[in-house]
Structure 1
Amino acid sequence: MNIILNDTFNNELRQDPTLENTRRQVFESCFSLVTPKKTANPKLIHVSKEMALTLGFTEMDIKSNSFLSIFTGNEIIKNSKPYAMCYGGHQFGHWAGQLGDGRAINLGELVHQQKRWAMQLKGAGETPYSRTADGLAVLRSSIREYLCSEAMYHLGVPTTRALSIALSGDQVLRDVLYNGNPAYEKGAIVSRIAPSFIRFGNFEIFSSRQDYTTLKTLVNYTIRHFFKDLKEDDKTSYINFFKQVADRTLTMLIHWQRVGFVHGVMNTDNMSILGLTIDYGPYGWLEGYDDGWTPNTTDNQHKRYRYGNQANIGLWNLYQLANALYPLIEEAEPLEAILENYKNEYSIRYLKMMKSKVGLFLNEKSDNELLNRLEEILQLTETDMTIFFRKLSSINKTDTNEVAISTIKDAFYQFDEFEGAILDQWMDWFSAYLIRLQKEVLTDEERKEKMNAVNPKYVLRNYMAQLAIDKADAEDYSLVEEFYTLLKNPYSEQLEHEKWFAKRPEWARHKVGCSMLSCSS
């Protein structure tokens, strides 16, 4: 297999002059050269053939020893310069200083069919940015990242992608819940793919150090390759660059809210400059609809990164990016205007998204109130988000309240709670909703088709991912394949997979990996 790279990041930006792979502060450099750690006995578990084809790899390439060796770090691509990026970040609202690629190593970039792709290994060993960690990853978190990356892509959510997942053959020590009980787990490596892995934190680190020369070089590089409609070395372009980043970020977050995805750790070092979902750590999907839910044990007390706060955190993170870019612009007003516009745009786009989920396509003043009320009563009793919105599309304009409630009753975890005041509130809401549907010009079937195009039937529920992990621990990768296939068509009925269109089982309510997760991986 012959991979021809077309590198830009490590050819056009400043390299760390120190070549030793030792933990250290790296100054005035965008990256450090790093060689992946050789693994003991690598074994491919799964390859996304769709992603492989997108990169220009053939079936023969995938089956080759070279593919296995390269994407587990045992072989270096000819004429390549693997590297780890230098960046900083705000973590849980506090400046953390230098962070960087602590367990990610970039192999290089290739261009196929006029699209540029950066290839990266996660879990391939330590780098100068690993701090006190080992730079490795475990099978548990690697399966979650691999499946979720591809699932999000097929849901239509902007995301990084995944090419392959492999066992390293090594054992890795991890404390899953940070409770003083570490244990050895199977090591694994995911090959991650994206046009670029540049984050907000890449810009923040240089601005925080007042290294405006490197900051400007990085901004110009990013514009040159990923915002090609803008000019380099131009203040107006820098403003428009920030505007486009804000817009892409908002677009991504609206998609998260639409499908019920919660990232869990929206630190600025986990925010892609391209508006892609990046760094799948303690993420989760809403089971019961709950604005206050977070999948991250570290965030359990303050719930900073809860489902209902993701758009606000996106704005807060953009403020930090604006502060980082300000020295190149030296005008606060245009940046503040963009941030203010983000707030206004969020309200407009969120309303439009929610209307599409409930099948309202005409403009009515009462729609905002109707949707606000829905979000309130969805939380009166535990209600499965995915099932509720999918079932809602089967309601017809001529249905009675009783028929409507019967249609969506499978979404409720405790239907026996559906009485008294709770039942009355649902009856009132459906009365208003059915009257509102009468104003729509689409037929019931046309409306159902549109609703089912935005409300997935299948998502990577937390317990599903855990089931795949449990089987993989026993060297059975059948569920990895099944979920990979299932989630390629999340909006299709796929009646052969109907068993996965179901509420979280009770055994998974408090099981580690199904309800809450830590950042440990």
Structure 2
Amino acid sequence: MSINSLTIDQAPFQNSFVEEMRGEASFDKRPRAVPGYLYSRVTPTPVADPRLLAWSDDLAAYLGLARPAERGPAVDALAGNLVTGSMKPFAARYGGHQFGSWAGQLGDGRAISLGEVTATDGTPWEIQLKGAGPTPYSRRADGRAVLRSSLREFLCSEAMHYLGVPTTRALSLVSTGDKVVRDMFYNGNPQAEPGAIVARVAPTFVRFGNFQMMASAAELDNLRDLAAYVIRRYYHELGEPSEEVYVRWFEEICRRTAVMIAHWMSVGFVHGVMNTDNMSILGLTIDYGPYGWLEPYDPDWTPNTTDFGSRRYAYGQQPNVGLWNLWQLARALAHLIPDPELLRPGLDLYSATFEQTRHEMMLRKLGLTNLQPEEDKALFEALHEALGESEVDMTLFFRRLSHTVPAVLANPDSAEAAWGEVLAAATYSASAEEETQLRQWLGRYLVRLQQETAAPEAIREMMLGANPKYVLRNYLAQQAIEAAEAGDLSVLNRLMEVLKTPFAEQPEHEELAAKRPDWAREKPGCATLSCSS
């Protein structure tokens, strides 16, 4: 039997984290403090009637896994009903800052890792079931997840991958046949909702909070062991762990995190809950909860109702929060080196990398190749200010601009009318006065474009490759959720296929590129969400 014919229940699992790190193996699921350990062995809690709802064919092919039947042993494994002989399931212990305050022990309260499978290129990838039942880290929760949040995580993990954003992945979405009670907006209105489990995949799910927990608890041996594990497995090019390597490692974490957040900003993605326990040590987008895309462009917008008071995790704050979170990680890693000041250059590298990466992405989004660093920086800053003055859909604006540039370059006298068409297509409800600043910027942009030596069509192609037509707007995800709850998976399947090629025109799916309709402006799940699962 070739590896490509194996379903997940047949695949051999490795268990590096369990075998190399210090953990407890009591299998006691009672919520409690777990001092002295990096994880707890725990088994998923079986569900009533697991059924496969969605599957990532591309990821499965890379992992060497065959698509399973709708029901059967493989789906039992993806739901936590079947633990094979080579799996050693565990829940990790970590802490973190939540909305800027230290929260103490958190840990995998509803995520259980099965172990690692080896991909077709020889790389081990960890498979984790989110919503698989209680663990010692569940606190007062039930360890479950509902269909709406699981479907959103499944879709967004894969959509971000196809956008080119560093991210964890999702292999499957399985309904459980059980009901889960959730108060969606914490307003005293709990309801029973269909349960689901998403199998998410990453090289590792270790996060900033794992290191913070060990440092906070003064478990320095665990801190050192965890750092060595991560370096040897995921940063092996840096060499064997040492004080010098710890410094270089932190710099690389800072660089990767900067690149990730620059990608978020480039496509208008808002994570919504950038707590330090939701920050991957590999610089991957992790923990898709109350996320969203800018519609319209508003630097102060957050999709997270829990964050409405401070807007700490708003779109425009994400670069600063990334730096703050890295500073908290540095405080934990400072226990490994003689002089904590040696970590400061990593923070400087974060800022420099973010600015450089975002600048390069903006050049591509606007089709600029003849570099004029200072002039272009001022042009970009003016654009963000102008976009903030108008109710412009960020995705639509850049996509329409991409198509318009060749015609405007061929006939500059047509620019005013062409810009008007772009704004008409991309604007929600801005007045002519509110559009004035953006129209002025477009005139400035045309002057800059006319300094380019590339052919107009080449500029257009560059822009189309940097400005997606299709993103996972919240109202689209909500439509897929409502259809799936009613037993119709066609909306989910269609959306998944379209999001695999977000930069392609796909004219037969044009309505999925439309700006948010009026009915979705205030509809729960379409504009705002909570941290509730």
Indicate which of 346, 354, 376 corresponds to 1:338.
346
**1:404 and 2:413 aligned:** no
Give me the whole-angstrom Cα distance separating, in 2, the residues matched to 1:35 and 1:424: 60
Give me the whole-angstrom Cα distance separating, in 2, the residues matched to 1:247 and 1:411: 33
Corresponding residue for residue 467 of structure 1: 479
Indicate which of 487, 490, 498 corresponds to 2:502.
490
**1:265 and 2:273 aligned:** yes
Give me the whole-angstrom Cα distance separating, in 1, the residues matched to 2:185 and 2:164: 32
5 Å-filtered alignment, 1:103-502, equals 103-113=110-120, 114-364=122-372, 365-394=374-403, 395-396=405-406, 397=409, 398-400=411-413, 401-409=415-423, 410-414=425-429, 417=431, 419=432, 421-502=433-514
Corresponding residue for residue 14 of structure 2: 6
User: By how many angstroms is 1:50 displaced?
Assistant: 1.3
| AA at the equivalent of 2:96 | G
Give me the whole-angstrom Cα distance separating, in 2, the residues matched to 1:170 and 1:291: 39
Question: Any unmatched runs of 5+ in structure 2?
Answer: 1-6
Of 424-433 and 139-148, more deviation after overlay is shown by 424-433
- Asked if structure 2 preserves the Cα contact closer than 8 Å seen for 1:77 and 1:107, the reply is no
User: By how many angstroms is 1:57 displaced?
Assistant: 1.2
**1:86 and 2:99 aligned:** no
User: By how many angstroms is 1:232 displaced?
Assistant: 3.0
| AA at the equivalent of 1:367 | D
Q: CA RMSD of the aligned region, Å?
A: 1.3
Question: Any unmatched runs of 5+ in structure 1?
Answer: none
Matched residue SS, 2:79: coil
Corresponding residue for residue 76 of structure 1: 83
- Asked if structure 2 preserves the Cα contact closer than 8 Å seen for 1:106 and 1:118, the reply is yes
User: By how many angstroms is 1:450 displaced?
Assistant: 0.7
Matched residue SS, 1:41: coil
CA offsets, 1:265-309, max 9 Å, x none?
A: 000000000011000000011110110110000001100000001
Matched residue SS, 1:184: strand
Matched residue SS, 2:325: helix
Identity of aligned residues (%): 49
- Asked if structure 1 preserves the Cα contact closer than 8 Å seen for 2:40 and 2:92, the reply is yes
User: By how many angstroms is 1:427 displaced?
Assistant: 3.4
**1:508 and 2:515 aligned:** no
- Asked if structure 2 preserves the Cα contact closer than 8 Å seen for 1:109 and 1:116, the reply is yes
User: By how many angstroms is 1:63 displaced?
Assistant: 5.9
- Asked if structure 2 preserves the Cα contact closer than 8 Å seen for 1:248 and 1:274, the reply is yes
CA offsets, 1:204-259, max 9 Å, x none?
A: 10001111101000000001100011233410000111011111101100000011
Moved over 6 A (4+): none
Pairs aligned (count): 517
| AA at the equivalent of 1:180 | G
| AA at the equivalent of 1:412 | T
Of 381-390 and 401-410, more deviation after overlay is shown by 401-410
User: By how many angstroms is 1:129 displaced?
Assistant: 0.2
Corresponding residue for residue 15 of structure 1: 23
Give me the whole-angstrom Cα distance separating, in 1, the residues matched to 2:168 and 2:464: 24
Of 273-282 and 325-334, more deviation after overlay is shown by 325-334
User: By how many angstroms is 1:36 displaced?
Assistant: 0.5
Matched residue SS, 1:378: helix
Matched residue SS, 1:224: helix
Change in Cα spacing, 1:369 to 1:170, as seen in structure 2 (3 Å) is same
5 Å-filtered alignment, 1:28-107, equals 28-59=36-67, 61=68, 65-107=72-114
| AA at the equivalent of 2:390 | T
- Asked if structure 2 preserves the Cα contact closer than 8 Å seen for 1:392 and 1:407, the reply is no
User: By how many angstroms is 1:423 displaced?
Assistant: 4.5
User: By how many angstroms is 1:112 displaced?
Assistant: 2.3
Give me the whole-angstrom Cα distance separating, in 2, the residues matched to 1:294 and 1:152: 18
Give me the whole-angstrom Cα distance separating, in 2, the residues matched to 1:446 and 1:171: 53
- Asked if structure 2 preserves the Cα contact closer than 8 Å seen for 1:16 and 1:27, the reply is no
Of 62-71 and 442-451, more deviation after overlay is shown by 62-71
| AA at the equivalent of 2:134 | E
Change in Cα spacing, 1:140 to 1:63, as seen in structure 2 (3 Å) is closer
CA offsets, 1:381-426, max 9 Å, x none?
A: 21000000011112232334313313412001126x1x2x434433
User: By how many angstroms is 1:172 displaced?
Assistant: 0.4
| AA at the equivalent of 1:404 | A
TM-score by length of 1: 0.97
CA offsets, 1:354-400, max 9 Å, x none?
A: 22211122222321222111111112221000000011112232334
Give me the whole-angstrom Cα distance separating, in 2, the residues matched to 1:431 and 1:153: 35
CA offsets, 1:337-357, max 9 Å, x none?
A: 211222233222222222221
Matched residue SS, 1:229: helix
Of 359-368 and 481-490, more deviation after overlay is shown by 359-368
Matched residue SS, 1:167: strand
Matched residue SS, 1:500: helix
| AA at the equivalent of 2:412 | D
- Asked if structure 1 preserves the Cα contact closer than 8 Å seen for 2:14 and 2:86, the reply is no
Of 431-440 and 83-92, more deviation after overlay is shown by 431-440
Of 193-202 and 389-398, more deviation after overlay is shown by 389-398
| AA at the equivalent of 2:521 | R
CA offsets, 1:464-494, max 9 Å, x none?
A: 0000011111111111100100000000000
| AA at the equivalent of 2:249 | F
Change in Cα spacing, 1:57 to 1:408, as seen in structure 2 (3 Å) is same
CA offsets, 1:29-65, max 9 Å, x none?
A: 1110111011111111111111111111124x45672
User: By how many angstroms is 1:442 displaced?
Assistant: 1.1
Change in Cα spacing, 1:367 to 1:337, as seen in structure 2 (3 Å) is same
Of 70-79 and 425-434, more deviation after overlay is shown by 425-434
Matched residue SS, 1:236: helix
